[in-house]
Amino acid sequence: MKHTIARLYFALPLLFVVVVSAANNGFLAPRQPLVVAHRGLLLQAPENTLANYRACLELRLGFEMDVLRSRDGKLVCIHDQTVNRTTNGEGRVDELTLKQIQDLDAGGWFDVKFAGQRVPTIDAVFRLLAEYPDANVLVAVDIKQDDLQVEGELVRLARRHDVLDRLLFIGRTITNAPVRERLRRASGKAQIARVAHNSEELVGSIDDQLTDWVYVRYLPSAEEVKRIHEKRKRVFIAGASVAGNETVNWQRATEIGIDAILTDYSLELSAQLRE
């Protein structure tokens, strides 16, 4: 890779390395939530790039990644339906070939230091994750692609690189029962989430036999978290209550036993957990 992880570190403030270098993510410290960096360290590096994700893994942080498909059927890691915002090109992802997409610069828009970063394939992201077998992290796979094959293809790629046990499938998974069913058919070991926007929706999400995680988009009560755990499921929280620099809500989420937190401020959350 043209821009190595060392180059990434030099490009970021020294605090970026110091604050989180000793962070642990919850598997090693019971009751501490896993930290999941939204689109990677999106405030410090270009989102959804290998340089960004490698930094997460070096720091033992989990990350969220997005899944779409190119015109020639390749699964790529990009958030938007177009390449306009995060590359130096234009066009819909599904109207560009993989070669056309990867010819674009996916880093220079963020900072010239990251010029040359490319839109990675999902295969490349899973391969990178496999390079860190001892990193006890959670990677949230946001399925944005809408077809009947993507779930099985993702599971096959994850198995090829032996990373399925560190993936949590979100995105269309959390609201779409057929997506959950296809994932479960693809593997009984796939970790599948279903959303609950409030206490009323929580009932169905807890009882869903296809799921392993409840994806809450509100700060639940301690009793609700206890009920989820009693069903031998885990709790993933995202949304406005934790996405920002929400120190009070992070503390509350930790106290009530939430298992993973998705946030834009993963470095700050990691530092708070260490304290």
Q: Catalytic one among 3, 79, 161, 229?
A: 79
Task: Return the bridge partners of 235, or none.
Answer: 214
**In whole angstroms, what is the distance from residue 10 CA to residue 16 CA?**
10
Query: Are 87 and 106 spatial neighbours (Cβ–Cβ below 8 Å)?
Result: yes
3-class DSSP assignment, residue 89:
coil
Task: Return the bridge partners of 196, or none.
Answer: 216
Measured N-to-C along each axis, helices 247-255 and 266-274 cross at an angle, to the nearest 10 degrees, of 50
Phi and psi based region of residue 171 (left: phi greater than 0; alpha: psi -120 to 50; beta: remaining): left
In the annotation, is 38 catalytic? yes
First CA to last CA across the chain, in angstroms? 35
**In whole angstroms, what is the distance from residue 141 CA to residue 125 CA?**
11
Give the dihedral sign, CA 69/71/72/78: negative
Q: Catalytic one among 38, 161, 197, 229?
A: 38
User: Which of these, 64, 77, 106, lies nearest to 89 by C-alpha position?
Assistant: 106
Structure tokens at 210: 């296809």
Task: Return the bridge partners of 53, or none.
Answer: none
Query: Are 33 and 111 spatial neighbours (Cβ–Cβ below 8 Å)?
Result: no
Structure tokens at 140: 């949230």
**In whole angstroms, what is the distance from residue 96 CA to residue 84 CA?**
12
Residues involved in catalysis? 38, 79
